[in-house]
Amino acid sequence: MEKLEMIYEGKAKKVFKTDDPKLFIVDYKDDATAFNGLKKGQIGGKGIVNNTMANIIFEMLEKRGIPTHLVKQLSERETLVKAVQILPLEVIIRNVSAGSFSKRYGVEEGILFKKPVLEFSYKNDDLGDPLINDDHILALELTTEEHLADVKKYAYEVNEALKEFFLERDLKLIDFKIEFGLHDGQVILADEISPDTCRLWDVNTNEKMDKDRFRRDLGNVEETYQEVFNRIKK
């Protein structure tokens, strides 16, 4: 399968058409951004880590009955995926307070919630991806009630699967962001699951093992991505 015209270039990935209209190829870059693109950099080897890690996780999720875009990995940085129209929603689940939750509500990081917190952001760079609720989503007609119900159901299921998966690798899943798309009229999980899109803390030391090392200039960024990758591959 060959890459044809590029249809989208995001901050961390490029997406290409193929000769099959139902399939795309995604190509992962080492580019990293934060704060809506204000901070820019590169994390050596990140594209390889994120591509392979997302695929290992998507395969695990498929086995648990969650539909994903994964078809097959083509190379270190490239994966053949089902063509989707991405829903303009960042679906975030939080198990422990951190990041924008802590900032917005004035609480310390590290508070374990009694139940997972689901939140949505409207994927819109010009507006800075604002927080949005179910009624806003329906008022703006970003998706239908039926598809929104699927998104929420899958998001909680992904959380349960990921918590278990990471804990087996001595990582606590603090929070994460996922994206969904429509393929043949069905909601499926798309985009990626990686240290770019999850907060992962070492179970024993609470050390940050994710993109916060880049966002907050904590050092050892590349080494941390490799360490997470080593734990995942086992």
- The footprint of ligand TMP (CB under 6 A) covers 92, 98-101, 175-177, 196-199
- Binding segment for ligand ASP (CB under 6 A), chosen from 27-35, 100-108, 110-118, 167-175, is 27-35
- Which of residues 33, 42, 102, 226 is near ligand ASP by CB under 6 A? 33
Which one of ligand TMP, ligand ASP, none is in contact with 42 (Cβ closer than 5 to 8 A by kind)? none
How far apart are CB 184 and ligand TMP at their closest, in Å? 26
Q: Nearer Cβ to ligand TMP, position 83 or 92?
A: 92
Cα 7 to Cα 85: distance, rounded to the nearest angstrom: 12
Which one of ligand TMP, ligand ASP, none is in contact with 219 (Cβ closer than 5 to 8 A by kind)? none
How far apart are CB 39 and ligand ASP at their closest, in Å? 7
189: nearest Cα among 160, 152, 163:
152
E runs forming strands in 18-139:
23-28, 31-34, 39-42, 70-73, 78-82, 85-86, 89-96, 112-122, 131-132
**What 8-state DSSP symbol labels residue 68?**
B
Q: Kindly report the length of the chain.
A: 234
Could you tell me where the DSSP H helices lie in 112-220?
134-139, 145-167, 212-215
How far apart are CB 168 and ligand ASP at their closest, in Å? 25
Q: Nearer Cβ to ligand ASP, position 33 or 226?
A: 33
Which one of ligand ASP, ligand TMP, none is in contact with 37 (Cβ closer than 5 to 8 A by kind)? ligand ASP
For 111, phi then psi, to 5°, come to -85, 120
- Which of residues 2, 5, 21, 37 is near ligand ASP by CB under 6 A? 37
How far apart are CB 55 and ligand TMP at their closest, in Å? 17
Q: Is 211 in the site for ligand ASP (CB under 6 A)?
A: yes
Cα 107 to Cα 102: distance, rounded to the nearest angstrom: 5
Cα 121 to Cα 177: distance, rounded to the nearest angstrom: 10
For 192, phi then psi, to 5°, come to -145, 165
33: nearest Cα among 137, 136, 101, 129:
129
Q: Nearer Cβ to ligand TMP, position 3 or 163?
A: 163
Q: Is 100 in the site for ligand ASP (CB under 6 A)?
A: no
Q: Nearer Cβ to ligand ASP, position 73 or 192?
A: 192
Specify the residue for token string 């998966």.
165
Cα 5 to Cα 3: distance, rounded to the nearest angstrom: 7
How far apart are CB 151 and ligand ASP at their closest, in Å? 19
Q: Is 86 in the site for ligand ASP (CB under 6 A)?
A: no
Which residues make up the interface to ligand ASP (CB under 6 A)?
Answer: 11, 33-37, 211, 215
